[in-house]
Chain A
Amino acid sequence: MSDGLVVVSSSPHIHSPEDIGWIMRQVIYALVPGAAVGVYFFGLPAFNVIWISVVSCIGVEALLQWLMGRAITVKDGSAALTGLLLAMNLPPTSPWWLVVIGALVAIGLGKQVYGGLGNNPFNPALTARVFLLISFPVQMTSWIVPRPFLLRSADAVTGATPLGAIKTAVFMHGNLAAAGKISLMDLFMGNVGGSLGEISAIALILGGTYLIYKKIISWHIPVIYIGTVFVMTGIFWLINPGVYANPVLHIFSGGLMLGAFFMATDLVTSPVTVFGKVIFAIGCGVITVVIRLWGGYPEGVSFSILIMNAFVPLINRGTRPVVFGAGR
């Protein structure tokens, strides 16, 4: 104090050790099981997609921040996380240029144009995924059949995702029979075609549970989102099981687990209050089911989350907590 090194600042003078970098690291850890299953079933191409995506996102973030004369904040881990999430939302055989374009869109159009972390209204990784899906429909919908790492042969065999098979069957034949038998066990473990990181329900549930345990996300969005999909598809399955797939298949297939645990819960683009989260999750669930059952695309998770992202400011405004002493 005598040597003039005294620090004077406003209270509080202590801080929780849980800062943004810590949160981002925890989410990355939680994604590892899902990503690992992707690499196990899809091999080296999947691994390449992951590292190219992570490196590109970090690089694009640093480059854009440097160009705009902003502080370079890649150390906070948010660009790396966006990169990992983007990779997990891409087909495992995506060519490198597709991944790089995705990174440019995610970080550039999804995040930095709005002012960087915290200011983006839409989930950056999903923004990129939808951009790519619309711009490069062929590359974004070529799926390979999963093969455990050790049994891999030189050539990958292409096949359909479970939801893709269902959509085609219903569209072409008017009923589910043509989709063939889909094993629920394969869906649960991840032995199905699909995006790199969405295939294994068990791995994603494991990671999501870790995030809930660490209090980084609350259970409301994933449980209510998945629950809404279950209930709604269940109602239609009961009405006509010949055309509508059963609800268990619905919740374990496609991007629902990845979306519900990791994309819809994105802190920046989801509501802040519990009641807001409930509304948000129900909205995501309803839109997902509407797209899956009657839309042109087999899967609606990405669209539903992006659409609900747009309502977040409104939801936040409508779900203000009751001030102490004002209600009851």
Chain B
Amino acid sequence: MLSFRGGIHPPGMKHLVRDRAIVDMPLVPLYRVLVQQHIGAPAKPLVKAGDTVKRGQMLSEPLGFVSASVHAPTSGKVRGVENCINPVTGLGSPCVVIEADGEDAWAEGIPFDVDPFSMDGSELISRIRSSGIVGMGGATFPSHVKLSPPRDKPIDAFIVNGVECEPYLGADHRLMLEEPQRIVLGARLVMHILGLSVAVVAIEANKLDAVEVMRKNAPGSIRVEVLDVKYPQGAEKQLIKAILDREVPPGGLPMDVGALVHNAGTCAAIWDACSRGIPLIERVTSVTGSGIREPKNIRVRVGTPLRDVIDFCGGLQEDASKVIFGGPMMGIAQYSMDVPVTKGTSGILVLRSREVDRSSYTSCISCGRCVDACPMGLLPNVLSRLGERSMWEDALEYNLMDCIECGSCAYVCPAYRPIVHFIKHMKALAREASAKKRQAV
């Protein structure tokens, strides 16, 4: 079966939510819409305290091309632009706080009905841009940027990522089962924009029901490929390798090898934005793990506080002790119940006390398991030793910046070394140093 070199086989744990149909999460009284929910340049808030906003109304204006705006998840009054905890960085971040009025009234002019296939590429791209669409697999890279490759890097291959290789998560799986047409139409729009005649939908072999549904719904131009169940099969570079047998060069982007990957959920959002003018204000996410009383797949508005999501799913088990945004391999542990759901929240995972590892790490025993597991061909053993001493300059020579932080190395490490943590730390030091250097010049 199609795959890549390296990787690991953690327990899937998908059974908790795999058969649970997507349910709409009801409105809550308060939303916290972070202004920065994407990778790239910041955006500037367009509203102030006391303003009334309508559902789908633009709340921030992107500053620069690689940036994205955010929109009101419902109608109500702006309490202010406050400082809230960003679930990705863990730091305070500007946030439009909206007191919902309960009417959920749409902003003027949306939703509408048009045939987006009658529009040309640039018009569609600007629509995608103004709808604030970002990669919904977790990386949150603005989608319109990916759709605007420079002239010298034409894209000839488009992959819809329905792999969802993170254990526990099942949101993309449910979306493919329940709303395949939105994904297929979104994918066809991307093909239309790029002038492509074919595309591939990639799905892991643990979701064969989704493979069947997608095959039934996809036109002949869209091929559905079944991939080996292996983590991180859904990582962009590994997926391109598996499907196209092309390797994105170190430091490069998929467009360097003529490839484009969009998450299944992102395709659905692109369809909504282009055909009905609905910006990205809600997403499907899996609330799962043994620490939550009623695991669910929910359609949740962006900006919904974590506390309300947990309440909607029956609350936490008594011994719940870790709440993670994302999956168990790359997700981010949260320390506050006030953090809001963002565009990139692919899952909310709650682990119980006995599942949370508190062991301390010991010296590397050079077993080489991390080297075998690394899908990027790096030496995590060496990087972790350098990281222990913050030796980021040496680590750069060991391809520090090529690490995709998938966590395969740390998962297999018998000495429990927090390899990804060391690597993230060194990357931050390296970025800080290069920023300082730029300033000095």
- CB within 8 Å of B: which residues of A? 1-2, 5-16, 18-20, 22-23, 73, 76, 115-119, 267-273, 320-326, 328
The reply to whether B237 and A267 form a contact with Cβ atoms under 8 Å apart is no
The reply to whether A13 and B328 form a contact with Cβ atoms under 8 Å apart is yes
The reply to whether A20 and B323 form a contact with Cβ atoms under 8 Å apart is no
The reply to whether A325 and B358 form a contact with Cβ atoms under 8 Å apart is no
A2 to B: closest C-beta gap in Å: 8
Residue of A nearest to B357 (CB): A15
The reply to whether B411 and A14 form a contact with Cβ atoms under 8 Å apart is yes
In the complex, B72 has a CB within 8 A of chain A? no
A11 and B407 in contact, given A272-B366, A324-B402, A325-B252 (Cβ under 8 angstroms): yes
Interface size on B, residues (CB 8 A): 66
List 16 other contacts, CB 8 Å, given A15-B413, A267-B367: A9-B322, A11-B326, A11-B330, A11-B420, A12-B411, A13-B333, A14-B10, A14-B328, A16-B8, A20-B414, A22-B414, A118-B362, A272-B368, A324-B377, A324-B402, A326-B249
A68 to B: closest C-beta gap in Å: 14
The reply to whether B237 and A324 form a contact with Cβ atoms under 8 Å apart is yes
Whole-angstrom CA separation of A6 from B324 in the bound complex = 11
The reply to whether A8 and B335 form a contact with Cβ atoms under 8 Å apart is yes
The reply to whether A118 and B366 form a contact with Cβ atoms under 8 Å apart is yes
In the complex, B116 has a CB within 8 A of chain A? no
- A273 partner residues in chain B, CB cutoff 8 A: 368, 371
The reply to whether A9 and B333 form a contact with Cβ atoms under 8 Å apart is yes
Q: Which of A5, A12, A20 has the most CB of B within 10 A?
A: A12
The reply to whether B379 and A272 form a contact with Cβ atoms under 8 Å apart is yes
In the complex, B421 has a CB within 8 A of chain A? yes
- CB within 8 Å of A: which residues of B? 5, 8, 10-11, 167, 237, 241, 247-250, 252, 316, 320-324, 326, 328-335, 337, 349, 351, 353, 355-359, 362-368, 371, 374-379, 381, 399, 402, 405, 407, 410-416, 418, 420-421, 424
The reply to whether A321 and B333 form a contact with Cβ atoms under 8 Å apart is no
Whole-angstrom CA separation of A1 from B317 in the bound complex = 10
- A16 partner residues in chain B, CB cutoff 8 A: 8, 10, 411-412, 414
Residue of B nearest to A272 (CB): B368
Complex partner residue of A12 from B330, B337, B375, CB under 8 angstroms = B330
Complex partner residue of B416 from A1, A15, A326, CB under 8 angstroms = A15
- A14 partner residues in chain B, CB cutoff 8 A: 10-11, 167, 328-329, 355, 357, 411
The reply to whether A117 and B247 form a contact with Cβ atoms under 8 Å apart is no
The reply to whether B414 and A320 form a contact with Cβ atoms under 8 Å apart is no
B38 to A: closest C-beta gap in Å: 20
The reply to whether B365 and A118 form a contact with Cβ atoms under 8 Å apart is yes
A44 to B: closest C-beta gap in Å: 35
Complex partner residue of A325 from B249, B320, B333, CB under 8 angstroms = B249
The reply to whether A13 and B324 form a contact with Cβ atoms under 8 Å apart is yes
- B351 partner residues in chain A, CB cutoff 8 A: 13
Residue of A nearest to B359 (CB): A19
A278 to B: closest C-beta gap in Å: 13
The reply to whether B333 and A322 form a contact with Cβ atoms under 8 Å apart is no
The reply to whether A10 and B420 form a contact with Cβ atoms under 8 Å apart is yes
